[in-house]
Chains A and B, each alone.
Chain A
Amino acid sequence: MRESKIVSRKFGHKESHTLQVARKHGGYSAIDAAFALEATEIIDIIKVSGLRGKGGGGAPVGNKWALMPQDHDGPSYLAVNADESEPGTFKDRQIMAKDPHLLIEGIIITCYAIGAHDAYIYIRGEYYQFQQILQKAIDEAYAEGIIGEKVMGHDYRLDITIHRGAGAYICGEKSALLESMEGKRGHPRLKPQQKEPEWYFGNPTLVNNVETIATVPFIVKKGAKAYRLYGTDSSPGTLLFGLSGHVNRPGIYEAEFGVSMLEYIEQYGGGVKGGKRLKAVIPGGASTPVLTAQEASCVRLDYEDLRVMGSTLGTGGMIVMDEDTCMVSALKNLLEFYHHESCGQCTPCREGTGWVDGIVESLLKGEGTEEDVDRLLDVSQTMNGKTICVFAPAVSGVIDSFVTKFRGEFEAYLKGAR
């Protein structure tokens, strides 16, 4: 596996979060290159690079940028999604803690490309410590004239404001995020019939993940081709994959798309803890269908290959489980989370997450029946594809994968069988 560091390039340096160190290692060198181009040219470069959204969806970023009207009568906005609340995912945190100036650099270029003069960073409330680091970096950038009335001497005003979330998982959904930023309850909005940008107080707004924005400076500086040198044809570039759970060295390690999952776990994670055997891997944050050890051993880490396996890459935060893990308890743990975090707007999700949580709890107590296992699948079917946002379909995918792939363990908990 070759080393491929695009976003995490400066992470290893001492005091890497300060402007001085960032500048010494090439920070903000993409700004002049960006301002030498037209806004639409930058969007074209991003399109050619094939950059895909790194917050979990994996949608082409260039197309999303192109939806932003260049001639809107009124302000446009950029909202950076730093509400990283997916269990098992902690990559944005690393960027904000280790290289906040890379994020600011990306924000400047993105804002210029879409014609926005105000950027908001929606950071989850629990990230107080990282918000402090980020705010310090923003203050440094203001003091040095990097942002403010003039961006590094160019005739372009840009202000960056941090908005702290109040602890709701669903506010990571882009329309719920904007609702929350508007001061309302964080409920996802109904999806529009045709493709259009998001709206913040009636003005077009681009919502992108922290890592996506942090990748932009590299592409603008080095060109789309340089980015395409990494990864596969349809999933170009790199991702800050993460490892947690039963591995020897959990953490965030950047790798290019298309590397083998098992090889990644072995090389960066140092293998499964205690020399035990692998049982299952949740590939990309808790909301993606689980893979068995056998599936994990032959899958490559890119969007297409995981789709073939019936799962999704998500955010790339892998949760590794060893042979002693009880899958029923693991599912219960996840369902408790979903039950708590369902925003309650759509009935199938609000009721369904509670029901499945209850069913699995009764299974764990030994009070379940054969029908309960099937009922899990039935409720999951009712939740899938019938709600406003993708929360319920994600939960449905998790339940289906756990129950169908590890049915034996669920049945072992049935009354009398244990």
Chain B
Amino acid sequence: MSDITITVDGKELTVPRDELLIKILNKNNFAIPQFCYHDALGMDGNCRMCMVEIEGQKRPQIACNTFPKEGMEVRTRG
């Protein structure tokens, strides 16, 4: 699958389309707290700790249930 470009805290990243945002953040050393997500167990979506702001979204979203989209702007620090 083709790679896409997203921006996290002003840093541009080229990432695969089908990888969860939380995995991308973990791989690229963005400190993002997480309780209920684990690579081996998949997402559960109820600790609500991995919330990130996404440009254009009214509410913060959980990174463990979000897939990247072309041109997505993500903020992890308020």
A contacts, CB < 8 Å to B? 187, 190, 193, 345-348, 385-388
Taking a contact as CB atoms under 8 Å apart, the answer to whether B46 and A346 are in contact is yes
Interface size range of chain B in the complex: 10 to 19
Within 8 A of A (CB), among B6-63: 35, 45-49, 51, 58-60
A347:B46 contact, CB within 8 angstroms: yes
15 A-B pairs besides A345-B46, A387-B48 with CB distance below 8 A are A187-B46, A190-B45, A190-B65, A346-B46, A346-B48, A347-B46, A348-B48, A385-B58, A385-B59, A385-B60, A386-B48, A386-B51, A386-B59, A386-B60, A388-B45
Query: Which residues on the B side are within 8 Å of A193 (C-beta)?
Result: 67
Q: Are B59 and A388 in contact (CB under 8 A)?
A: no
CA of A48 to CA of B49, assembled, Å: 43
Residues of A within 8 A of B48 (CB): 346-348, 386-387
Q: Hey, which chain A residues are within 8 Å of B45, CB to CB?
A: 190, 388
Contact of B47 among A187, A190, A347, A385 (CB under 8 A): A347
A259: shortest Cβ distance to chain B, in Å?
A: 32
CB distance from A324 to the nearest CB of B (A): 39
Q: Which residues of A contact B46 (CB under 8 A)?
A: 187, 345-347, 388
A187 to B49, CA, bound (A): 18
CB distance from A395 to the nearest CB of B (A): 15
Chain B hits for A348, CB < 8 A: 48
CB contacts (< 8 Å) of A386 on chain B: these are 48, 51, 59-60
Chain A residues, Cβ within 8 Å of B65: 190
Return the chain A residue nearest B51 by Cβ. A386
Q: How far is the CA of A353 from the CA of B67 in the complex (A)?
A: 30
Residue in B closest to A189 when the chains form the complex, CB atoms = B45
Smallest Cβ-Cβ distance to B60: which chain A residue: A386
- Sorted nearest first, the 6 A-B pairs with minimum C-beta distance are A385-B59, A345-B46, A190-B45, A346-B46, A346-B48, A347-B48
**Interchain CA distance A385-B60 in the complex, whole Å:** 8
Across the interface, name the chain A residue whose C-beta is closest to B35. A347
How far apart are A386's CB and chain B's nearest CB, in angstroms? 5
B49–A347 contact, CB under 8 A? yes
Q: How distant is A383 from chain B, measured CB to nearest CB, in Å?
A: 10
Which A residues lie within 8 Å of B58 (CB)?
385
Once bound together, how far apart are the Cα atoms of A187 and B60, in whole Å? 21
In the assembled complex, the Cα of A193 lies from the Cα of B54 at a distance in Å of: 14
- List residues of chain A with CB within 8 A of the CB of B67: 193
